[in-house]
Structure 1
Amino acid sequence: PADICLYGGAAGSGKSYALLLDALAQCINYPSHMAGIVRREATMMDKPGAVVDTCAGMIRFIPEARMVKSPRPCVTFDNNSKILFFGMKNEADVDSIHGAQMNYIGVDEATQMTKRQIMYLLSRNRGLNGAPCMLRMTCNPDPESFLREWVDWYLDPEGFPIKAKSGILRYFAQSKGETIWGNNRDEVAKKANLDPHLVLSFSFIPADITDNVDLMRRDKGYLASLEGQSEVDRMRLRYGNWNIKETAGQYFKPHYFKIIDRKEMPELIAVTRGWDLASSEGSGDHTASIKMGRDAHNNFYIMDMDFVQYSPFKVDELMMARAKEDGNECVVRVPQDPGQAGRAQMAHIRRNLVGYVVRSRAMTTAKESRARPMSSAAEQGLIHIIRAPWNETFLAHAEAFPPVFNSPDIIDAAVEAFEELTTNVDTESNIADAAPISLGDNNTFHRSDFFTFGGVDNWQR
């Protein structure tokens, strides 16, 4: 088998399930086998329906295996084999596995890890039971990851996987900080001036949702969800593209938004005004607000916009004036900076707007990530703009998102409003959730799957 194999490269392909299936098969077939399943964030594996829960459901059909949840999750077997689950958040965390020996290492969401972390894991890929040692990885495409170089040979010029190259072995070695690639072990050894035993084999097996027949049958709406993502996420998660990047113009295009007259707007069931605040008059920072509403069919309407360079005092006056104009039924949504300063600012805003509903959300994720659900809704034609003089400014900022230098104030305000309006949307909403569904949920597992699951067979090439 390949020393290192990467599987997936698109959402819905059963990546996490395949990783667990392979680890279980190895532990059943080889006594005293030590396997490790690792993610950057260990807490992500313990969440309901995540990797640990999925594995617990799978071993219900394996009487010689049992799940131990404390002090940290692991699976033990009657033949003295074991599967450990652990995290490696930072490069410094490699010290936590110093001296460890694992025959099998499975890295879930490998693009979230650095090359140093992966190579150090490879140094722990050893065992004493005579079984083959292997490193297996899963991921979604990321053009900024070091894995983009590793899969380059398997991709066409546009960054899509070439199916005919799936599973073919390649060989590489590290020499003077450079990765040397070739078609066979001797070729790489000669190029790198190394002993052939220091050359590693690598294989990439691309897969997407259409390869996961069970998921396609159980969740017929998931394919539509992937197709409904923003352009960047759709190309990555649905079609496995490794080249596409989040650049200006790919989140919001002007034709995504339909401009209508106010009289065309139907009755709204929820209204909010989102703010993005700046503190200095005359500086490069602006204060922006977007008033947005939602109708009963989950269409969204941008009704008003502010975009000004005001002092903090004038911003307070503007917020109070807008709250009075909008009325009590319009929720005021404001982002909250982290730390004590953010809490103090929110307390100040709430004092000024007594009698109005003010909500906030701590800014813990990147602005680009927060904009994805709104981008998806816009691309589906669900966001309308009421005709007004500010339309051109809004569309210009939307198309330029994310900007290289200046803060995307207008879009930040729009995202605040959109998030508030979609927080409690009915589950039948036609807004595609930007977060991929957990791939291991509710899978039915049988012992015979060890021998019939094509993904595991392919990993043994």
Structure 2
Amino acid sequence: MSKERIIIKPQPGPQEQFLATSADICIYGGAAGGGKTYGLLMEAMRHKNNGDYGAVIFRRNYTQVTAQGGLWDSSRSLYRNIRYAVPRKTPKLHWEFASGASVNFAHLGSDDDCESWQGSQITMIGFDELTHFTRYQFFYMMSRNRSDANIKPYIRATCNPDADSWVADFISWWIDQETGYPIKERSGKIRYLVRINDELIWADTRQELVDQGVDADDIKSVTFIASTLQDNKILMKRNPSYLANLKALPLVERERLLYGNWKIKPAAGLFFKRTQVGEILSQVPDDIIAVCRGWDLAATDRDEDNDAAYTAGVLIGKRRCGRFVVLDVINKQIKAGEVRKLIYMTARIDRDKYSWSGLVRQRLPQDPGQAGKDQAQGYAKLLAGYDIRILPESGDKATRAAPMAAQWQMGNFDIMTGDWNEEYLNQLESFPESKFKDMVDAGSSAFNEITIGMEFNISGLVN
């Protein structure tokens, strides 16, 4: 029984353009789901029949290479269809082809990691998510971009937008600086670059730089090719809900990952607006099925500016209809020694008042190190008999707030009327630029717990 013939080729549009460009350096992407990683993997196997050819594709950390569905898994789904292609795990993860050509996978966690590549000759260098790498890492590895394989060395990179990354400045000619969106007419257009004393000098033609006295061998051709989810017809067919997932993101992430906006960044009013609240309620809804209060704790009596530090606790209810309601907000400037008493008394009130909902939980942050573990154990003992969850926080405050902001922006939040309303809404609207973010962080913890963590009703869980 004959096997079905498998044809590996790029999709029409930006992915095909990416594999066809002659540029020395090509950066591909600008939005999520555009087929960037598969384009990079296809490019890496282009010279598999040349035994002297070697490619290396970098991610910023090793987990991004090896994680489920990561770069290595993606390579397996593609390269296993090539006859005599063999996956190897030593000395590094790589694929070896019949000719002896190889495609390697590695990481550059810090600038110092570049030193381990001294003396290397790499025909094709790939960066998956270039904005995760430093400018130093990129240009240092460019010095390793050389070859004895009778193939002109080249660099290929993928990325999503990041307004604060050095990449945003590097590809600025291809981006509308007013809107932040890629300029369609410039996508794939080649420009020319020379780097002198770490200064980048650009020109529209190679001859312009030669006329300025630049050695022709020092000139690199560069292009940027923009893509979006709509360019990846295969993904749209296999996972039609992916578009809805991107549309459900909060504004900043939606602009970046769905529309490829290179200028947008977190700013006041882009996460939460009071006009997006559904209703101001005077009575607690009777369809609440779970309640969680998230806490942001004052570690000291005073902050770095000698202002009184805040302890915030935000109580959020999840409703059977799919909506959310902010039930209560505490935001107090109290001494660190009084925080434990406040949390205990509040946990007791919350449980007595909302026990009819089925689940009432307190979520507290755990500081890093042994002091954080000791503090967690102390709260576990203090709140024995209560449903609590104590977890280290990961990511910055804006990242943690994004899931709640997405629902807020879609109008899926109501709030109870209370004397805390104005202070709370003011802090939400000024986030993340305001000095104090305690209530936002506490609300983010409650929301993330009530939508993910509370699927598992484990009382007194301390991680």
What amino acid is aligned across from residue 325 of structure 2 in structure 1? Y
Q: Distance in 2 between matches of 1:155 and 1:208?
A: 14
Alpha-carbon shift at residue 258 of structure 1 (Å): 2.2
Q: Is 1:411 matched up with 2:440?
A: yes
Per the alignment, residue 353 of structure 1 pairs with 383
1:50 is matched with which residue? 70
Q: How far did 1:71 drift?
A: 4.5
The equivalent of 1:27 in structure 2 is 48
Matched, 1:422 2:451: yes
Partners of 2:256 and 2:286 in 1: how far apart? 36
Corresponding residue to 1:376 among 406, 410, 435: 406
- Paired AA for residue 362 in structure 2: V
Deviation at 1:252, TM superposition (A): 1.1
Whether the 8 Å CA contact 1:34–1:102 is kept in 2: the answer is yes
Whole-Å Cα distance in 1 between the matches of residues 64 and 188 of structure 2?
29
Structure 1 residue 67: Cα displacement: 1.0
The alpha carbon displacement at 1:248 in A equals 1.8
Q: Structure 1-normalised TM-score?
A: 0.88
In structure 2, C-alpha distance between the alignment counterparts of 1:247 and 1:397, rounded to whole Å: 12
Contact 2:427–2:436, Cα closer than 8 Å, also in 1: no
- Aligned residue in 2 for 1:101: 121
Q: Deviation per CA, 1:138-164, whole angstroms, max 9, x where unpaired?
A: 000111111112211112231211111
Deviation per CA, 1:103-145: give whole Å up to 9, x if none: 1111000001111100111111111110121100000011111
Residue among 338, 343, 353 paired with 2:368: 338
8 Å CA contact 1:39, 1:86 repeated in 2:
yes
Tell me the distance in 2 between the aligned counterparts of 1:189 and 1:133.
Answer: 21
1:18 and 2:34 are equivalent in the alignment:
no
Q: Distance in 1 between matches of 2:249 and 2:129?
A: 20
Contact 1:9 1:207 in 2 (8 A): yes
Structure 2 match to 1:311: 335
CA apart distance, 1:424: 4.9
8 Å contact kept, 1:259–1:387: no
Whole-angstrom distance in 1 between the partners of 2:420 and 2:99: 70
Does 2:167 match 1:143? no
Q: What pairs with 1:39-438 in structure 2 (closer than 5 Å)?
A: 39-156=59-176, 157-191=178-212, 193-263=213-283, 265-281=285-301, 283-327=307-351, 329-404=359-434, 406-424=435-453
1:71–1:103: structure 2 CA closer, same or farther, 3 Å change rule?
closer
Could you give the per-residue CA deviations for residues 302-335 of structure 1, whole angstroms, max 9, x where no partner exists? 1011010111332222111111111164111001
In structure 1, how many angstroms separate the alpha carbons of the residues matched to 2:447 and 2:60? 30
- How many percent identity over aligned positions? 35
**Cα deviations across residues 426-458 of structure 1 (Å, max 9, x unaligned)?**
8xxxxxxxxxxxxxxxxxxxxxxxxxxxxxxxx
- Measured against aligned partners, the alpha-carbon deviations of 1:261-289 in whole angstroms (never above 9, x if no partner) come to 24362411211111111044464310000
Quote the Cα distance in structure 2 between the aligned partners of 1:219 and 1:94: 38
In 1, Cα distance between the equivalents of 2:54 and 2:150? 12
Letter of the 2:170 partner, please give it.
W
Report the AA paired with residue 335 of structure 2.
Answer: S
3-state SS of 2:260 partner: coil
CA–CA distance in structure 2, aligned partners of residues 261 and 80 of structure 1: 69
- Note if contact 2:122-2:144 (Cα within 8 Å) is conserved in structure 1: yes
CA shift, 1:425, in A, is 7.5
Question: Would you say how many aligned residue pairs link Structure 1 and Structure 2?
Answer: 423
Stretches of structure 2 that go unaligned for 5 or more consecutive residues are 1-21, 456-463
What is the deviation of 1:368? Answer: 1.1
| Alignment-mate amino acid for residue 364 of structure 1 | S
Q: Which amino acid in the other structure matches residue 345 of structure 1?
A: Q
Q: Secondary structure at the match of 1:78?
A: coil
Give the conservation status (yes or no) of the 8 Å contact 1:44–1:50: yes
Deviation at 1:45, TM superposition (A): 1.1
Structure 1 residues without counterparts, runs of 5 or longer: 427-461
Deviation track 1:31-56 (CA, whole Å, cap 9, x = no partner) reads 32100010111211101111101111
Q: Which amino acid aligns with 1:286?
A: Y
Aligned residues of 1:279 and 1:310 also touching (Cα < 8 A): no
Alpha-carbon offset, residue 259 of structure 1: 3.1
Pick closer, same or farther for the CA change 1:150–1:324 going to 2, 3 Å: same
Moved over 3 A (4+): 279-283
CA distance in 2, matches of 1:56, 1:5: 24
Whose RCO is larger (CA < 8 A, sep 6+)?
Answer: 1
Q: Secondary structure of 2:442's partner? A: helix
CA distance in 1, matches of 2:320, 2:218: 63
User: Do 2:281 and 2:414's aligned partners in 1 also have CA atoms closer than 8 Å?
Assistant: no
Question: Distance in 2 between the 1:101 and 1:50 partners?
Answer: 26
Tell me how far 1:59 sits from its aligned partner: 1.6
Partner SS, residue 67 of structure 1: strand
